[in-house]
Amino acid sequence: MYILKIKGTARIPDYVQLRDDGFTLIAYFRVDRPEKALAKCGYADRQEEMRKIIEELPFGKMTKLEI
């Protein structure tokens, strides 16, 4: 799975994309509200771990996610 953090503008918030190994979009959610999207794609039990990863992630760089 891959993760990408997208920088927002003044009116558009920052977003995160989760993509599978074929780069198909699995989830797209705001950085400050990941709970519902993570629950929907099966990662509700790893919300705190994902929050830490998202905070450390640089904007605009796709990163392989090993969880």
| Per-residue model confidence (pLDDT) at position 29 | 94
* Per-residue confidence in pLDDT tens, the chain, 67 aa: 999 999 999 899 999 999 999 999 999 999 988 888 889 888 889 889 988 999 999 999 999 988 7
Distances (CA, A) of 43 to 13, 34, 48: 22, 10, 10
The predicted pLDDT at position 59 comes to 95
pTM above 0.85, yes or no: no
Give residue limits of the domains in the chain. 2-64
Q: How high is the pLDDT of residue 60?
A: 94
